[in-house]
Amino acid sequence: METKATWYTNGKSKNVKVLVCKDYETLSKKAAGILAGIISVKPDAILGLATGSSPVGTYQELIRLYEAGILDFSQVKTYNLDEYYPLEATNDQSYHYFMNTNLFDHVNIDKNNVHVPDGNAADMNEACTSYEAMLDEIGGVDIQLLGIGGNGHIGFNEPTDTFVGPTHVVELTESTIQANSRFFEKIEDVPTKAISMGIGSIMKAKKILLVANGEGKAKAIADTLEGPITPQVPASILQLHHDVTIIIDEAAAANLKEYHA
Ligand code: GLP
């Protein structure tokens, strides 16, 4: 079977739907299909977007659908999760640059409708407050796409003692700096800080779609779905969201007890 669906029920009517796909390509097509469906029924959909290698295949499929004339991004608005700090949007290591090269430059999106947190603002507190105010103004994104860090981080919300609600400046953990150094020439080049939507900002989304692949994500996925809700595993908060879909491959599903039961 190409894809197997499992429901994780976290009390009352709160559900997390988990789709386990045979490979990364299938996973990416499924995720893109969900985003495409939303854009089709709501041409001015507001998408929350993510960076990292996990959503790259999803973006490639969205580009393919656009090129095939199936998708129109002309009215779509986007809000990205995070950005390195300090880093200019034009820097080729910035998440803004990543979004341009991996999606925005290849579809007919109006760049005025694109929002990425400012990682180079003179006043970072103000940058955080105004980003959060924008999210409040739109009443939350229609769907938030997420990857997940090997330590369970979402956006750049690293494991901590308390969940942080709004957009804020974060200190990256050593493991995240190590993991992300693969995109930089040398580890010293990886910024040690970032501006990120907080857990509260992410939870404002009407729908959440998380994609993950590979064995390096297996523990984080199991902790997210089957462990306690704890700020030590930031993604575990998703158990409290009313509409979450998690699309993973077999390797990322390896540690799920309920799925393999
Ligand atoms: C970064 C990003 C996250 C992303 C994570 C996983 O730290 N801030 O949004 O989910 O990395 O990245 P990858 O998909 O490359 O494994």
pLDDT, residue 77, reads 98
HSE-CB for 51 with a 13 A CA cutoff: 25
Q: Name the range with the highest mean pLDDT among 13-17, 152-156, 176-180.
A: 152-156
Please determine, for residue 224, whether its predicted confidence score (pLDDT) is greater than 50.
yes
CA neighbours closer than 13 Å in the CB half-sphere of residue 241: 27
How many Å lie between the centroid of ligand 1 and the Cα of residue 82?
A: 10
Ligand 1 neighbour 191 (Cβ under 6 A) = no
Percent of the chain with pLDDT over 90: 92
Structure tokens at 60: 């490639």
Which structure tokens are listed for 102? Answer: 């991996």
pLDDT band at 261 (very low <50, low <70, confident <90, very high): confident
Residues above pLDDT 70, as percent of the chain = 97
Task: Check residue 11 and give its pLDDT.
Answer: 47
196 lines ligand 1 (CB under 6 A): no
Pairing of strands 82-85, 193-196: antiparallel
**Position of tokens 């969201």?**
241
Could you tell me which residues come within 8 angstroms of residue 88 by beta carbon, excluding any fewer than 6 positions away?
94, 119, 120
What pLDDT score was predicted for residue 196?
98
Secondary structure (H, E, C), 23-47: CHHHHHHHHHHHHHHHHHHCCCCEE
Region 200-218: mean pLDDT is 98
Structure confidence by residue, pLDDT tens digits, 36-74: 999 999 999 999 999 999 999 999 999 999 999 999 999
Torsion from C-alpha of 179, 224, 256, 261, nearest 10 degrees: 180
Query: What residues act catalytically?
Result: 82, 151, 153, 158
Residue 170 has pLDDT above 80, yes or no: yes
Q: What is the mean pLDDT of the chain?
A: 95
Q: In this structure, which residue's CA is closest to atom 1 in ligand 1?
A: 52
Q: Which of 1-10, 39-48, 143-152 has the lowest mean pLDDT?
A: 1-10
Q: Which DSSP letter does residue 154 get?
A: B
Question: Does residue 148 line the site of ligand 1, with CB under 6 A?
Answer: yes
Domains, the chain, ordered by start: 5-195+203-248 (3.40.50.1360)
Question: What stretch of H or E contains 170?
Answer: strand 168-171
pLDDT at 10: 57
Q: Yes or no: say if 84 and 193 are a contact pair by the CB < 8 Å rule.
A: yes
Q: How far is the CA of 76 from the centre of ligand 1 (A)?
A: 23
| 82 sits in which H/E element | strand 82-85
Residue listed under structure tokens 């030590």: 232
Across the range 223-242, mean pLDDT stands at 95
> Of 10-14, 21-25, 173-177, 179-183, which range is least confident?
10-14
Residue whose CA is closest, atom 5 of ligand 1?
A: 149
Pocket test for ligand 1, best of 24, 27, 49, 51 (most atoms within 8 A of CB): 51
The amino acid present at 69, given as its one-letter code, is G
Secondary structure letter of residue 172 according to DSSP: P
Distance 147 CA to ligand 1 centre (A): 6
- The answer to whether the CB of 149 is under 6 A from ligand 1 is yes
| Dist CA 81 CA 76 (whole Å) | 16
Kindly tell me if the per-residue pLDDT of 136 is higher than 60: yes
Burial class (CB in 10 A: 0-12, 13-18, 19+), 127: buried
Burial label for 209, CB within 10 Å (0-12, 13-18, 19+), is: buried
Is the CB of residue 81 below 6 angstroms from any atom belonging to ligand 1?
A: yes
Give me the pLDDT at residue 4, please.
Answer: 84
Q: Does residue 51's CB lie within 6 angstroms of at least one atom of ligand 1?
A: yes
pLDDT for the residue numbered 1: 55
Burial of residue 217 (CB within 10 Å: 0-12, 13-18, 19+) is: buried
Q: How far apart are CA 105 and CA 88, in angstroms?
A: 18
- Quick check: 83 and 195 in contact, CB under 8 A? yes
**pLDDT tens digits, residue range 6-16?**
877 654 444 79
End-to-end Cα distance, the chain:
17
| Predicted TM-score (pTM) of this structure | 0.96
What is the per-residue pLDDT for 12?
A: 42
